[in-house]
Every structure is written in C-alpha cells, then in structure tokens.
Amino acid sequence: MSDLKSNSTSDLLHVSIATDKAAQKWGNNALLSPSAEGYQIHLVGSDPLRNMQKAARSLSNLGISQLQLSGKGWSKDLQWAFYQGFCTAKKHDGVVFNNEQGEAKQLEQLATCFSFAKKMINDTPEMLSPVALAEQAEAFIRAVAPEGSVSSELITGADLAEAGWHGIYQVGRGSTRPPALLILDFNPSAKPETAVAAALVGKGITFDSGGYSIKPTEGMATMKCDMGGAATVTAALALAIMQGLSQRVKLILCCAENLISGHAYKLGDIITYKNGTTVEIVNTDAEGRLVLADGLMCATESKASLIIDAATLTGAAMVAVGGEYNALFALDKPLAARALQYAEDEQESTWQLPLEKWHQQQCPSPYADTANSRPVKGGGAGGASNAAGFLSRFVAEDGKGWLHYDLAAAFNNSANSYWAAGATGHGIRSIATTLLAETKR
C-alpha cells in the first residue's frame, strides 16, 4: 500500500509467482517455498485465486508484517486475492502492490476502501455508537470526494419520530445512545436540480443484543458486525467516486443499537410507517428490516432509478449460501442478472435467492398489515426470502430498480485457511461496479 512506498523495497520481503511445482522437500503440492529474496508461490493447480489467498494467509500466519509483490504474472485479481488473505483485523496494510500491469493505483484504492470498512466493522460496539458510525462514514466520503460535492443531514433521537422515521427510532430507543439516520448527498454537479441517479441504503445496527428476543451469548458475541451493511455501501460509494463516478448518488445509513431497557420496543408493539404500512413486532431480533424500511422509503423519496440496500440481515441467508457467498434478492429480474454478472466480474461470489411479490404475505399478522417476521426460530422456512419480501413493501414500482444484498459473507467468526477472523469487505466491489455501470445506462 501507499504508506510503504517510502521504504526501500530492497528492505522488504519479496514474494513472487512460480509456475512450476515446489521441490518435494517442501511437501506434496506445496504452495510456498523460500527464495533468495523471500518466498515464491507455486500456482500450478486449478483455482489460482483461492490458492493465492491461501498462500497469503500462510505467510501472514508466519508473523510477516510487510512485503513486496515482485516479478511477473501479478494480475490485479491475483494481487487482490493475496491482499485479502494477508490482512487481519489488526493488520490492514503491509502489502506493496506490483505495478507491472499499471494497476497498483486501483489496488491501493481498493485497499483504502476495504480498510475503512473492515476497521469499522471490527471496531468495538462501545467505540462505535450509531451517531459515531454516521459521522465516520460522512467524514470518509468527504475525504475522497471532490470539494463541494457532498452535503448531508443527520437526524437523531426523538427527531426521527417527529420526521416520520419510526422504524429506526423504535429499534434504537432502548439505548441511551440515540439512533441516527444519515442522508448524504454526493452531487458532483453541485446543481440542486440534478436528478438522483442512485441511492445506497445500509443497515447500521452498531450492536444487536436481540432486544427482548434476546440472543444467546454465542450469537451475541460478534454482533458488532451488524452494521456491516452501512460500512459496505459507504465503502462502495467511496470506491465508485475514486473510480470516476459522475452521477448524483444518495447514501442513507440507518443506525441504531438494539438493546434492552425500560424504554425499549417490545413484542406486540405496532409500528406505523410513513407509507401507512403497519407492522406488528413478533421478534425484536428481526430489527434490521425495521430500520431498512425507513431507509428504503427515504431512497424512494429521492426518485432514484437505482436503489441498492445491503445488510447483515438474516441467519437464514447464511444457512442457504454459506459464508463464502452473499445472497442477492430482486423483483427486477433483468437488473438482478446484470448485478450477478458484475459480481462475477469482480470475483465476489454472489447467489440469487427467491423473491416474488407474494413473499410480502409470508409474515401475516391479525393486528397489522404484516408482522416483522414469523414467531418461530430463525423466522421459519424461507426466512431470508420472507425478510426481502417485507422490505419490498417499502420500494416503489413493484421493485423496479431495487437490489437487496443479504451479506452472508461479510464477517467470519473465526479464521480459516483463506480468511482471518473478522470483516471481509465482501460486496464492496460488486456494489461499486453495479453503481458505476447502472448509472451510465
């Protein structure tokens, strides 16, 4: 990364690519062997990107803090796979990229955006309150955007209820630290009449206890990551700006802590949203969709033709696609097909799960238009699709132009052969590319 450029690369460990097998003395089909300047990675089998990431994880586990990618054969995707495997929750830099193919600048931009998102997701919930999340996201966008292109509004606490954003307010009112809605406007034209081309909506639950539907300890231990959607869309917008985004885009972050107190929302409560939809609370741990509903209505008010929301929304998505894929939902099938291709182009595994208009009716309530879930563990069968169906009630035109990402691959509870424990940033590249491509159509 750029902060290492001042160091002489001769002082760094060099890592090169070898196209032959490692000598037998290093083990059967060894990925790594030592060289005169450091190590070489033997990419001779199938799936070179995963093998590269695995080799980088092995080097990171040796305690190496800084290195240089040297020699030939370093494509952008191979370098990025190495970076993803090498970094940890405590180490977001240390890789000097190879510029043989002129791609070091793009890789440094990726690293800057991923580092921001991963640091924020890995931060402690005590350090990252809802307002702090909103403020840090705004500061990051202002730092990368052209001067004068960003304006913002931050609504907090009881002002949310007065403004009609009842979902965020109800979920967050149990905490002494107020909930917040950030509405950031990136407008490079600086003309107020410029149409909003797209809106990005992120779930920003800075800690999720589950509320009165309380999580067990093992389920709550990693809930600092429940604002992963907000971090992901913020980083995606920043990356798109760095890559030349010229259209007006709104960033909408729905931030709250879901805690238990005498002032917390309760099972049986009914929330009436701005669009008139009434929602019975049957599970206070299904809070993400409640805050996103406000964000989606806010996005719809902007008349953006493209709306993308991202959230660590359901455990059901993780059950369906595992921890290596994000789940994609859309009623707009042609848009979904393009989004899947963008994700494939960016080497971010994404899988489309079912969503139809009738999924809106999958959480019935005798007291309101809908419940926020089903009152069974995990929301019952098809829980991720039912959550997406709930969200579809809050977008216009039968979901035309809307994409919902359930970020099943955003966070690893523990390390494995490819990833360190913690945030992955998976989804940032896909959303940035979707944003850039779709706003040019």
Q: pLDDT digit string (tens) for 36-47?
A: 999 999 998 889
Q: Name the CA radius of gyration of the chain, rounded.
A: 22
The answer, yes or no, to whether residue 111 has pLDDT greater than 80, is yes
Q: CA 20 from chain center: how many Å?
A: 37
Is residue 4's pLDDT more than 80?
Answer: no
Total-model pTM: 0.96
* Strand, helix or coil for residue 193: coil
Yes or no: say if 286 and 372 are a contact pair by the CB < 8 Å rule: yes
Give every CB contact of residue 135 below 8 A, 6+ residues apart in sequence.
154
Which DSSP symbol is given to 225? G
Which of 118, 177, 250, 289 is catalytic? The answer is 289
Position 1 pLDDT exceeds 80: no
The position carrying tokens 């963008």 is: 342
Residues 6+ apart with CB under 8 A from 14: 35, 37, 38, 39, 67, 68, 69, 70, 71
Query: Active site includes 441?
Result: no
- Residue predicted with more confidence, 3 or 262: 262
User: CB under 8 Å to 100, separation ≥6 — which residues?
Assistant: 72, 74
Span 168-191, mean pLDDT?
98
292: its two tokens: 């996103």
How many angstroms separate the Cα of 201 from the Cα of each of 42, 283, 344, 427? Answer: 42, 22, 22, 14
- For residue 60, give Cα distances in angstroms to 10, 57, 160: 19, 5, 45
Mean pLDDT calculated for residue range 374-385: 89
Over residues 416-439, the mean pLDDT reads: 98
Residue with tokens 């059967």: 28
Residues 80-106, mean pLDDT to the nearest whole number: 96
Kindly provide the residue ranges of all beta strands, DSSP E only, lying in 322-414, ordered along the sequence: 326-329, 350-352, 370-371, 402-406, 411-412
Catalytic residue among 21, 119, 215, 338: 215
State pLDDT tens for residues 41-89: 999 888 999 999 999 999 999 999 999 999 999 999 999 999 999 999 9
In tens, the pLDDT along 192-209 reads 999 999 999 999 999 999
Q: Is 191 annotated as catalytic?
A: no
Neighbouring-strand partners of residue 156: 180
Q: What percent of the chain has pLDDT over 90?
A: 94
- Structural contact between residues 258 and 174, judged by C-beta atoms closer than 8 angstroms: yes
Q: Residue 3's pLDDT is what?
A: 44
32 and 26 Cβ atoms separated by less than 8 Å: yes
